[in-house]
Structure 1
Amino acid sequence: MDVWRTDRRVKILLDVSCVTFPLSGIGRYGLELARHLPEQAGVGEVAYLRGNQVLARFDFDAVAAPPQASRARQLIKRFLPYDLVLGPYRSRKAQALADSLQPYSDYILHSPNFTAPPVSGKSVVTLHDLSVFHFPEFHPRDRVNYLKDQVHHSVEKADKLVTDSEFVRSELLQLFQLEPNKVITVPLGVDESFRPRRGEELEQVMRRYGLRPGQYLLSVGTIEPRKNLAGLLQAYRQLEDSLRCRNPLVLVGAYGWNSGTLMEEVRRLQAAGEVIYLDYVPEQDLPLVYAAAKAFCYFSFYEGFGLPVLEAMSSGVPVVCAATSALPELCCDTCIQVDPHDTRAMSMALQQALVDEDWRSSAGRQGREHSRQYTWGRTAASLVDIFKGLAG
């Protein structure tokens, strides 16, 4: 029986390259690990890999937005053959990075974002979802090629694989025929700032964004096809005019891939006063935008976990969402869930969320209680247990 000696402390090399502005879901994951891993029992040291540099400390406030890739570069990448050019080039870069990390071979490398360089020491990789395998149409071709390649590499080389949900773990075991003990589910957490708020706490942020507390429907997520915002807009438009007038749809999220047509519709509805598009909302304001919502909706076609749903539940806001992928596992009967391909069912769910006060009160209370089990401290502690097991 292996026993972790109390006088030994694990050393971790955490890849924080995914933590960029505006903060994505994976960026949030990386940031929260950077905040919480050093606090865990049994951790001796945490170093931070950012790009090709190893840092002793990581300061998120100093992180700038990544440089915007030129249109010419994006266009060229679309036509370069991945197997002959992009793939080998990226493999050489990864190997060069791994060689530079040789002094850290006694650290456990953790990559929060699908891929890790082929280091000589132990490594753990988090695979958040397998959407590039099941729904490649929701991603640009270069991303599909790259992530498929990297997931295969991680499956082959990493000592342990982590998923956010049992749903993705089951997908991974089935797709790659892996031994069950190689893949471990570690659910995400939610920050304590996502909680119910009193009216006076909300006033300043409500004024800033032109919102009325308790009088809007909220959806949060990157503006991209996988999130099914087109379906949400169709379902919302099926509501009665008076109901839409009293409860505008508020969309929060940075512009993503292949959403030009969708944004045209968003702007048209915004001009009509039915939709309010806030783009990216800073992390100090976002919890208050959640807390003031009448209800939260999230009809994504595919999710490996569903962090915005958890943030809404933690805020005491009732949720209607898709009955697909990992969302039923997360919601655990605390939300209204419907087929994201059925806009009529989606619209009926939105109507109930907006008019049924008894349901809102019950769902908000149950969701809040259910969310208490998900903390970033627990996520970090579970990962440290994995690291300890590898360190021996």
Structure 2
Amino acid sequence: MNIGFGVTVLNNETKKKHLDGIGIYSKELFHALQKHPLIKLHPLGFGRALNNSNTINNSYLLHILPYLIANKKQNLKDPKINIFHATDHYIPALENTLVIATVMDLIPFLHPEWVSSKLRGLKNYGFKKLIKSADHIITISQYSKNDLVNYMGIKQEKISVTHLGVNKSFFARCSPTFYQKILKKHKIKPGFFLFIGTLQPRKNLIELIDAHALLPLELQTKHQLVLVGQNGWGTDELINKIKEGESKDTVKWLKHLPQQEVQALLQLAQALVFVSLFEGFGLPVLEAFASQCPVIASNTTSIPEVAGTAALLVNPQDKLSINAAMQRLINDPTLAEQLRNKGLKQAKQFTWDQCAAKTIEVYKKLSSNP
């Protein structure tokens, strides 16, 4: 089976040496699919090719404009490819090739205030039309599937859910020597509360910082709030909050770190606190589980689907609820150990091999019922 595999976002993020959710998904799924002898992957993208991939068109906009204006689709250069899987939001408009589109979430439509406003109306028009043009949709949670059905009006049978996996490296324990190296490098002590992700409005970090600030000052300094992630957008007020916390030595912003350092921090943390307002999945929750790190997480959107009963779920818009969960984990080491054990068990249910197997089922289904 010859599969065109979309790598536009993966290529772009590889150039920047930093993979976010879509880049991680594309990379991990590609490697897992490569293990299957009946699947031949053809990495294809828009823009400059990278890592043995080929280019569909140097400009995605020039490719989709004929379809957006006049419903005119284009042929791939390689006629052997019978399915194209768009693993990112660069969904092509193809003639004579079946298209599968992975849609992680509908945040740009449901909460446009959380994304860049530049040409947002035009982008949403094009994205919606291309989503609906796909022959099949893959999404990463039942929650996102429900949004696609209710908001986009897409039939349930046209959507498949393939949960994400967690990289096996997160299950490996770092050495005590490496722990000490990381603590010394970043000037932190074990027992900190940790956040991982790009700084942006929907990650709800102002509420998190305010919740942490409700701890007695002695506990704030003993259990610092450590933020790991690059700056995104809409963060002016947040950056001021971070600077205020840094001046008191209660907050640390470490920006982007290599994966091994992130793994060490997860293993040293009091808990991951992931109180995002909206997630299509919430991969950091799984990575924390695999690292045997207790998790405090939002009780909204897809996160309960991923966390199950292995996390302390809180109302992300209630700083008192977030603070109470922090205090529980500080004061109750038995609870923390229970969450570590539950989380590890939960993480083992989500693998990239399973994600690949379910994706192949979609390929086969579409091939037999074009």
Q: Same fold (TM over 0.5)?
A: yes
Percent identity at matched positions?
26
The structure 2 residue matched to 1:256, chosen from 221, 232, 248, is 232
- Can you give the 5+ residue segments of structure 1 that lack an aligned partner in the other structure? 1-9, 59-86
The structure 2 residue matched to 1:116, chosen from 72, 91, 94, is 91
- What per-residue deviation string (whole Å, max 9, x for no partner) do you get for residues 120-169 of structure 1? 20111111111122211111213643552244223321111011100110
The structure 2 residue matched to 1:38, chosen from 34, 40, 47, is 34
Contact 1:40-1:380 within 8 A present in 2 as well: no
Measured in 1, the distance between the counterparts of 2:45 and 2:236 equals: 32
Superposition map of 1:371-390 within 5 A:
371-390=347-366
Change (3 A) 1:170 1:347: same
Measured in 2, the distance between the counterparts of 1:225 and 1:25 equals: 16
Contact 2:63-2:92 within 8 A present in 1 as well: no
Structure 1 residue aligned with 2:248: 272
Measured in 2, the distance between the counterparts of 1:279 and 1:290 equals: 15
Please state how far the C-alpha of 1:338 moved relative to its aligned partner.
1.1
Report the more deviating stretch, 330-339 or 201-210: 201-210
Please state how far the C-alpha of 1:201 moved relative to its aligned partner.
4.4
Contact 2:2-2:80 within 8 A present in 1 as well: no
Contact 1:196-1:316 within 8 A present in 2 as well: no
Please state how far the C-alpha of 1:313 moved relative to its aligned partner.
0.9
Structure 2 residue aligned with 1:72: none
Contact 1:299-1:322 within 8 A present in 2 as well: yes
Structure 1 residue aligned with 2:270: 294
Please state how far the C-alpha of 1:284 moved relative to its aligned partner.
3.3
RMSD of aligned alpha carbons: 2.5
Whether 2:280 is the aligned partner of 1:285: answer no
- What per-residue deviation string (whole Å, max 9, x for no partner) do you get for residues 288-328 of structure 1? 22222121101110111001111111111010011100011
Change (3 A) 1:104 1:267: farther
Paired amino acid for 1:23 = L
User: Normalization by structure 1: what TM-score?
Assistant: 0.84
- Can you give the 5+ residue segments of structure 2 that lack an aligned partner in the other structure? 54-59
The structure 2 residue matched to 1:17, chosen from 8, 27, 32, is 8
User: Normalization by structure 2: what TM-score?
Assistant: 0.89
Please state how far the C-alpha of 1:119 moved relative to its aligned partner.
1.1
Find the residue that maps to 1:231 and give its secondary structure.
helix
The structure 1 residue matched to 2:145, chosen from 164, 169, 173, is 169
Please state how far the C-alpha of 1:94 moved relative to its aligned partner.
7.7
Find the residue that maps to 1:50 and give its secondary structure.
strand
Please state how far the C-alpha of 1:353 moved relative to its aligned partner.
2.1
Whether 2:327 is the aligned partner of 1:351: answer yes
Superposition map of 1:217-236 within 5 A:
217-236=193-212
Structure 1 residue aligned with 2:25: 29
Whether 2:46 is the aligned partner of 1:51: answer yes
Measured in 1, the distance between the counterparts of 2:73 and 2:339 equals: 48
Whether 2:92 is the aligned partner of 1:92: answer no
- What per-residue deviation string (whole Å, max 9, x for no partner) do you get for residues 310-369 of structure 1? 111111101001110001111111111111111111111111122221110000110111
Superposition map of 1:320-339 within 5 A:
320-339=296-315
Structure 2 residue aligned with 1:3: none
Measured in 2, the distance between the counterparts of 1:194 and 1:88 equals: 38
Find the residue that maps to 2:104 and give its secondary structure.
coil
Structure 2 residue aligned with 1:204: 181
Tell me which of the two structures has the higher relative contact order, counting C-alpha pairs closer than 8 angstroms and 6 or more residues apart: 1
Change (3 A) 1:176 1:227: same
Structure 1 residue aligned with 2:56: none
